Structure 1
């Protein structure tokens, strides 16, 4: 068999793959553009605008009731001390209580919490009487039960319960703003702002643009369409009555389900599906900086893939199994977007494979091995439409990233597009295998992210920017 015999089949395969990838990429592009234009409409009509406040004024406002902040910690000795110390300094309110759950076989984390808390009575360390790690939901449920005991002892319930992670740097104005929002909502989510990492400009910093778009555009559209807002697990607060109702609905000895890897996402969606009112609370201080939770995200490829695989497994696969497709049209649209990750990764893989095929095709032509190639009007239109959508996507990514992090980081966000795609493909592969193991009966594990640095370590005073 000669090359001339194989060449037509190569051309057919190349054409069909181009058609497959082009059509599905275009469907994804239309989906993204629809969200973009919905956001632009809400922005122009004033419904999606960001409020502005005096950060200093809100930092020192007393709360209208008791507030609890729940933090689950396993092997977090490197960062939990910074989180506790900064939160206590940033939030001076006397009605605040930090509940931090840890494990009896993790003395380093317990010691770090104790040293950071000093003698502040607002900190309560909840030590699990079993060895860790369990699931994160299991740890949170243990904290929740301890909170119930504190309420029973004091005879005064908490007004709302807020979730944070061991690596978070809170905003000084956040607590009082959430407290005020609880008059009208059962669930409030503050934006999350990943912090740029000089040591990981391309891996750790690729989260910047993803959260800038998600929490600066997509969640706004979700909220205004009446769709449920997923909880990010940090900077999210629930009314006390809502968590109590969720605890009664589950069989997990608390409101957090240990049967999913993304208990926070599920809890936020359930609030909306049960008639609760949700709010993405986007507020800027007088300095123009967003009131948000700041943190460093995974800086290595391995840890980034592992974290995103957990998100895909919990949101795309388990979310489909556990939450279904109920709700209005806007809700169904947003759930479809939540669950498209694995399919998108497959399409991206085909696209990058095609890139190799096309380059090989060009090289073969140079060496005189011509491949008979015929395009079509349909394919040409699809390719042109995808090229235009890619340019539009780059503009939107630049704009949202530059708004929060500056022009240089906005340009890097565009250059990081291929890296984001590669991480997504690797995470999808891991998530699929993880889901298959779960179907075979393997229990969920706390596949936590390692943290070495904390943004508060580089802040001279609470709220410094």
Structure 2
């Protein structure tokens, strides 16, 4: 009986190790390909483009050829704690002569409506609705779109761009000027998103900083270079008025799909797939910081899992059905990366299980029989993991300093646990064809604004 148990333990350890090892190898090669493409592009641009042209900054960017109204859309469901401060901050910070902020509220959320009304600025337009909240974020955005169309008819002035923000965002003073200029060349312009790290919850809130630092320093750059769609982050993103008008024309007058949980991601992929999208990491001035959006993300494990569950359902599950696998090779590769989260979670869970089984084998002096290539697989994965951690340290350190870069290395474990928990919750919650309500998390606006 004991021999059978030992044999089963050895066999389970061997098979699960090989499954996890092959999965980690494929994922590591996938990530390495992104890194190498990014490095190749960086070297090429430094050797060619930047030898002939100085890097543009917001301060040196030419003025727009046709200045126009910038409409900022802010959906707000149960945001009474932050929306007033956010609006006052945005009004004080935006350095642009012509903009209007549209805030979507709900009849069963009077506290948020009161906070918006208390701002009392003609540049803020509150748009209530008849449907009680929460609806979907897309429904709220469509109400704001309808209000914009009404104002265009009343004022006789057509907006130039629509900028998406959330109620907890710290906007950058120069972002509207950047959008005003670049939206003349592109239908979508996405700025970097740099999550703020809560010093009291560095491990959970910090893992968002780690992931956005990598995605918004390498992945979106590579997607743009390959001609694949650039998914909107839903904040710090400008959409041309003409592009949204075309989408509305083909969707019964409303550009945002109200059956989607991740309407920002989808609209970015659809617009970006036409090749007229840009990810813009531009400094405010020579030697200054990036023109970027900053915000606090969830700082507790349960709220982080809830938020990532919504992202997984919208992108990896519903996105598979809604966006399918259209486009060329580069586009399909990027969509595969967007949708690999569940397989990645399974491989991660298996890897942690292998560690536990390996400890048991060592405790009972059990030696599984390995194929000849197992050592090669282990060594290769070790090299890929080392490279991945070095890249994470470098990218996080670039944006947040070397101390945070060091923290990002062990924080990978926190990110993995959250990813596995979110994947499990998403699989349980997802029902094809059903639109779940807006499962938002509570937000916090910083007491001290970051330096730009």
Which residue in the other structure is 1:447 paired with? 439
C-alpha contact (below 8 Å) 2:9/2:361 kept by paired residues: no
Equivalent positions of 1:203-222 (< 5 A) are 203-222=204-223
Which residue in the other structure is 1:103 paired with? 106
1:287: Cα distance to partner? 3.7
How far, CA to CA, are the matches of 1:13 and 1:428 in structure 2? 24
C-alpha contact (below 8 Å) 2:58/2:282 kept by paired residues: no
1:145: Cα distance to partner? 0.4
Moved over 6 A (4+): 47-50, 57-63
Which residue in the other structure is 1:53 paired with? 57
1:62: Cα distance to partner? 11
Equivalent positions of 1:121-270 (< 5 A) are 121-251=122-252, 253-270=253-270
Q: Give the 3 Å change call, closer, same or farther, for CA 101–344 of structure 1 in structure 2.
A: same
C-alpha contact (below 8 Å) 1:260/1:444 kept by paired residues: no
1:373: Cα distance to partner? 2.3
Which residue in the other structure is 1:458 paired with? 448
How far, CA to CA, are the matches of 2:64 and 2:322 in structure 1? 40
Cα RMSD over matched residues? 2.0
Which residue in the other structure is 2:390 paired with? 395
Q: TM-score, normalized by length of structure 2?
A: 0.95
Which residue in the other structure is 1:425 paired with? 420
Q: Give the 3 Å change call, closer, same or farther, for CA 13–464 of structure 1 in structure 2.
A: closer
C-alpha contact (below 8 Å) 2:58/2:178 kept by paired residues: no
- After superposition, give the CA deviation of every residue in 1:318-369 in whole Å (9 maximum; x if it has no partner): 111011111111111101100000110001000011111111222223xxxx
Which residue of 360, 375, 378 maps to 1:383?
Answer: 378
1:156: Cα distance to partner? 1.1
Tell me the SS of whatever aligns to 2:189: strand
How far, CA to CA, are the matches of 2:113 and 2:66 in structure 1? 28
C-alpha contact (below 8 Å) 1:59/1:173 kept by paired residues: no
Which residue in the other structure is 2:353 paired with? 353
C-alpha contact (below 8 Å) 1:283/1:290 kept by paired residues: yes
C-alpha contact (below 8 Å) 1:59/1:172 kept by paired residues: no
- After superposition, give the CA deviation of every residue in 1:79-114 in whole Å (9 maximum; x if it has no partner): 111210111111143310000000111111112112
1:53: Cα distance to partner? 2.0
C-alpha contact (below 8 Å) 1:59/1:90 kept by paired residues: no
Which residue in the other structure is 1:282 paired with? 281
- After superposition, give the CA deviation of every residue in 1:229-279 in whole Å (9 maximum; x if it has no partner): 00110011111111011112225x511111111000000011133x25000
1:133: Cα distance to partner? 1.3
How far, CA to CA, are the matches of 1:322 and 1:406 in structure 2? 40
Which residue in the other structure is 1:33 paired with? 32
Pairs aligned (count): 446
Which residue in the other structure is 1:368 paired with? none
Q: Which runs of 5+ in 1 are unaligned?
A: 366-370
Q: Give the 3 Å change call, closer, same or farther, for CA 62–102 of structure 1 in structure 2.
A: farther
How far, CA to CA, are the matches of 1:86 and 1:276 in structure 2? 34
How far, CA to CA, are the matches of 1:443 and 1:409 in structure 2? 38
- After superposition, give the CA deviation of every residue in 1:386-421 in whole Å (9 maximum; x if it has no partner): 111110000000000000000000000001011100
How far, CA to CA, are the matches of 2:55 and 2:174 in structure 1? 13
Q: Give the 3 Å change call, closer, same or farther, for CA 403–63 of structure 1 in structure 2.
A: farther
